[in-house]
Amino acid sequence: MSKKEVYVNDVEEYFQDRGPILTFQNLHYCVQERRFCCKRGPAKYILKDVSGIMKPGMNAIMGATGSGKTSLLDIIACRKDPAGLTEGRVLMDGKAVTSDLRLSSAYVVQDDVLMGTHSVRENLLFSANLRLDPKEHSSEEKNNRVTSIIQDLGLEDCADTKIGTEFLRGVSGGERKRCSIGMELITSPSLLFLDEPTTGLDSNTANCIIALLHRLSRRGKTVIFSIHQPRYSIFRLFDHLTLLHKGEMVYAGPAKDSMEYFSNLGYQMDFFSNPADFLMDITNGEAVSALVTPSAECKNPLALKYQQSQMHWNVLEELEHKGQMEMEGVIGQGMAANYVTSFFYQLRIVSGRTMWNCLRNPQTSIGQLGLSIFFSILMGTIYYQIPLTLPEALQNRSGAFFFLIINMVFSNLSAVELFINDRKIFIHENSSGYYRTSVYFLAKLFADLLPNRMIPIFIFTAIAYYMMGLKPAFVAFLCFALNMSLVSLAAVSLAFLISASVSSFAMANILIALPFVIMMVFGGYLVNLNSMLQWLSWLKWISIFRYGMNAAFVIEMTDQVYYTMTNTTPILYPGEVFLQQQQVDYSQWGFWQNEVALLGIILTCMFLAYVQLRRINRWA
């Protein structure tokens, strides 16, 4: 049996062009290097004059690390920043592709991005609910499709097993990868991209994954994937091979012809060697040929040999022929590129998943509630039943309010993890057309604010307020609880803004602590801004501490009389006198001015957090 016969036969006739044909021509992609923060360095070219055709079947992109294979995959999948594409174009079935291709094709990322607290079936059903039109597919049909995909992927044994988190043991790496593929197969796409689907898997599991892709390709799908160094049983399943070296193409053609091509260039493969390993040896310079020698004029002789080959000219002729047949329009016109589900339907599905995620991973909620109860009892014990006698009445109340506000602000530092924990999941699902950014934003807010913020705040306020013996009127308690809630939400909203702006916990912790400290210092109670630092006194207008303290004093001091004993005669001291000394407005609208200011901080930070979430770089 000849070498050619051991490879899978060409399937072009079998497909009869049932899947889309992707063509790319003269691609030049570069990135702008940065030096010394904002100073720009020279442009570094990742791809140089790359052209090719991807037809229905198994299309593999191979190359050593740094050869540009992932960049090429991302460019033709429209998941690379178009600003770096200085030249070239990508067509699908004769139409220019745009970013809308991401909504009509499937893309499996290298690092599996799945909700770890959900089972395999629940993750697949989540994809089905959001990516299948509920007007055309009933709940029963969606469940049937999920069950069918589970059977096709061989996931029956782990269908109801959680994916797994750092606290929860879950499915294996191969099962995670198959689940990731299943998430994209829900819409039955004819075009499937995969970024190194075998990375991190053992040889047997990797073989099963590629065999699965091979079966999908035999159903008429165009499967395009990057891969590093596959075993022979995987390599023999490739229909088309694109080999890159230093950003240039050194081979593009049938995988079964690659050995013959390089043999004609003077390279000889040892017996019992893996063809993929041999190709890597050639590109890495470990295999030597007298016909291919580097020179000062040509740093990549393999690319030059390919450009001079008949195989390259055949590709260019076919590209020219398809270019003459190019149809008007772009991919996205006439295709269902928009969201198939409504805003409120997406909000219900995403909110449900987010709530279940919180319930199955309750460490943060339990910790926040426990911390609130502990500090409320501690504060109540320290300031237990504050008397109305001077001077301790005013001193203790001032200290108690200051520490209450500090607790409300700094206890919400955990909110900075809200948009960082699931950042990769959001980017992938939003880019793939699962849901709108606004849906994700609102779902995260609903799931975080109620269990982690509102309930602990109310419990904290109720315990501390009555243990400290503050104004007994129930209306005063409700106003005090409202004030503590707005103070806490203002701090939370600022934490949300930081969380949406950065991608690492270390930077988020630094950025959130800085404004909190500045607000505390310039709140007007630690530093007299009228006597010093007048040029910074404007900071008091953005201080959460200032508005929270002022409102607390108005609630407690208004209509409250304190006294001191001189011999046997009490001297009365109205609370309004203290408010006048502190320059606090205690008029009818004095309290609400502070609450409106806190509400303004909340709305402003929430809006900016949403804007930052929309500005997250979704390009690969």
Query: What is the rounded average pLDDT of the residues 345-361?
Result: 90
> By three-state DSSP, how is residue 309 classified?
coil
Q: What is the pLDDT of residue 483?
A: 93
Tens of pLDDT, residue by residue over 272-297, are: 788 888 898 888 888 877 777 766 56
Tens of pLDDT, residue by residue over 168-200, are: 888 988 899 899 999 988 988 889 999 998 888
Asked if pLDDT for residue 126 goes beyond 90, the answer is: yes
Q: Which range is least confidently modeled, 102-106, 278-282, 311-315, 554-558? A: 102-106
Question: What DSSP state is assigned to residue 168?
Answer: S
Q: What is the pLDDT of residue 297?
A: 64
Q: What is the pLDDT of residue 8?
A: 41
Asked if pLDDT for residue 2 goes beyond 90, the answer is: no
Buried b (16+ CB within 10 A) or exposed e, 480-518: bbbbbbbbbbbbbbbbbbbbbbbeeeeebeebbeebbee
Asked if pLDDT for residue 521 goes beyond 90, the answer is: no
Query: What is the rounded average pLDDT of the residues 524-531?
Result: 70
Asked if pLDDT for residue 7 goes beyond 50, the answer is: no
Q: Which range is least confidently modeled, 356-365, 510-519, 593-602? A: 356-365
Q: Which of 480, 446, 483, 228 is nearest to 348 (CA)?
A: 446
Q: What is the pLDDT of residue 15?
A: 41
Question: For residue 327, what pLDDT band results from cuts at 50, 70 and 90?
Answer: low
Query: What is the rounded average pLDDT of the residues 542-557?
Result: 90
Q: What is the pLDDT of residue 34?
A: 66
Q: What is the pLDDT of residue 3?
A: 41
Query: What is the rounded average pLDDT of the residues 590-618?
Result: 91
Q: What is the pLDDT of residue 36?
A: 52
Asked if pLDDT for residue 9 goes beyond 80, the answer is: no
Question: For residue 78, what pLDDT band results from cuts at 50, 70 and 90?
Answer: confident
Query: What is the rounded average pLDDT of the residues 547-564?
Result: 87
Question: For residue 205, what pLDDT band results from cuts at 50, 70 and 90?
Answer: confident
Vertex 553, ends 481 and 517: CA angle to 5°?
A: 80
Q: What is the mean pLDDT of the chain?
A: 84
Question: For residue 12, what pLDDT band results from cuts at 50, 70 and 90?
Answer: very low
- d(CA 290, CA 350) in angstroms, rounded, equals 61
Tens of pLDDT, residue by residue over 244-257, are: 988 899 999 999 99
How many Cβ atoms sit within 10 Å of the Cβ of residue 61?
27
Report whether 562 contacts 551 (CB < 8 A). Answer: no
Tens of pLDDT, residue by residue over 374-396, are: 989 998 999 998 888 888 888 88
Q: What is the pLDDT of residue 330?
A: 47
- The structure tokens listed for 190 are 């004819």
Q: Which of 89, 73, 75, 84 is nearest to 45 (CA)?
A: 84
Q: What is the pLDDT of residue 522?
A: 81
Q: Which of 551, 419, 395, 400 is nearest to 487 (CA)?
A: 551
Asked if pLDDT for residue 570 goes beyond 50, the answer is: yes
Asked if pLDDT for residue 5 goes beyond 50, the answer is: no
Q: What is the pLDDT of residue 572?
A: 81
Asked if pLDDT for residue 11 goes beyond 50, the answer is: no
Residue ranges of alpha helices (H) inside 258-389 are 258-264, 275-284, 301-307, 310-324, 343-360, 363-382
Asked if pLDDT for residue 520 goes beyond 90, the answer is: no
- The structure tokens listed for 174 are 């191969």
pTM for the whole structure: 0.84
Q: Which range is least confidently modeled, 345-349, 531-535, 570-574? A: 531-535
Tens of pLDDT, residue by residue over 399-410, are: 899 999 998 888
Asked if pLDDT for residue 329 goes beyond 80, the answer is: no
| H or E element, residue 618 | none
Percent pLDDT > 70 in the chain is 91
Q: Which range is least confidently modeled, 51-60, 358-367, 390-399? A: 358-367
